[in-house]
Amino acid sequence: MRFPFESFKRIGRYRIVNAGSRWGIDLFDDLERLAQPDAFQMVFDVGANVGEMSTLFMKNFPKATIHAFEPVDSTFAKLRRTLGSHPRLALHKIAASDTSGPATIRLFTDPAKDTLVSNLTDCYRTDPCGLERVEMWRLDAVISEFKVCLIDLLKIDVEGFEANVLRGCGDNLKPERIRYIYFEFHRINKLMMADSAVANGHSQLGELDRLLEGKGYRLLVIYTQGVHQGEPIGTYNALYGTF
């Protein structure tokens, strides 16, 4: 049996990896295995924050139109400053959900921690800085409003609200209408009662997998972003689609 890491080359604390032969290292390398970059013509960035991923989508998918969604006033202003105006870019100051209407989002000093989940807790959310009323739309309403026939990539990073976003796609949640889905999660399954006082309310891969598998998707890749110290969760991303 070939040792899976023998192709790694170490230079001090750094590793050089042949990404062409391995999955789960770089999202864009993996997507290029599935389809040519020019084939990605419509991308939804749900939970765009200040635009880091949207910037990468613009760079890596030269023919794509990017719809970026960010509901918080101050973060949306930063998103607009980061991305500016571009004919391939549409910015929406709304939150995606499974219902439409007003909602209250919890704000933190780090806007990447803002969440619509009222009971979401972990060791990184120790600095709340208020509440804000935001507007929510179902994604099937957005798809209808902008007459979108096909989404090539749906990216979701909404701090525990991922299942709501997926349910809000309605009848569009199928590979024929949304080809690939890339989302953040923090657990495989629900925490034990003793652990829920430390961390609670995060997205679970098991729940999302059941939802997506029932719609014709399969898990393609998992990416580890970080393992939390002192609590039984981590930060991971999953790529779903067909292959």
Residue 70 maps to which CATH number?
A: 3.40.50.150
Residue 7 inside a domain? The answer is: no
Quick check: 79 and 100 in contact, CB under 8 A?
no
Residue 222 inside a domain? The answer is: yes
Residue 1 inside a domain? The answer is: no
Q: Say what the pLDDT of residue 3 is.
A: 47
Q: Say what the pLDDT of residue 121 is.
A: 87
Residue 13 inside a domain? The answer is: no
How far from 231 is each of 141, 156, 162, 187, CA to CA, in Å?
Answer: 38, 23, 21, 11
Q: What is the pTM of this model?
A: 0.92
What's the total number of domains in the chain? 1
Residue 10 inside a domain? The answer is: no
- 167 φ, ψ to 5°? -65, -30
Q: Say what the pLDDT of residue 53 is.
A: 97
Closest CA to 24 of 233, 236, 213, 179: 236
Q: Running along the chain, 243 residues long, what does each successive block of 10 average in pLDDT?
A: 54 71 91 96 98 96 98 97 92 98 97 94 88 98 97 97 98 98 92 60 94 98 91 92 93
Q: What would the DSSP string read from start to end of 163-204?
A: HHHHHTTGGG-STTTEEEEEEEESBSSPPPHHHHTTSBS--B
Q: How far apart are CA 102 and CA 131, in angstroms?
A: 13
b or e along 191-207 (b: 16 or more beta carbons within 10 Å of the residue's beta carbon)? beeeeeeebbbbbbbeb
- For residue 137, give every residue at least 6 positions away whose Cβ sits within 8 Å of its Cβ, in sequence order, or none: 92, 94, 95, 96, 97, 100, 168
Query: Is 80 buried (19+), middle (13-18) or exposed (0-12) by CB count in 10 A?
Result: middle
Residue 44 inside a domain? The answer is: yes
Q: How far apart are CA 1 and CA 128, in angstroms?
A: 50
- ∠ Cα 132 134 137 (to 5°): 160
SS3 category, 66: strand
Residue 208 inside a domain? The answer is: yes
Task: Find the Cα–Cα–Cα–Cα dihedral 126, 164, 222, 115, rounded to 10°.
Answer: -20
b or e along 38-56 (b: 16 or more beta carbons within 10 Å of the residue's beta carbon)? eebebbbbbbbbbbebbbe
Q: How far apart are CA 104 and CA 107, in angstroms?
A: 9
Containing structural domain, residue 210: 23-241
Residue 53 inside a domain? The answer is: yes
Q: Count of residues for the chain?
A: 243
Q: Say what the pLDDT of residue 66 is.
A: 98
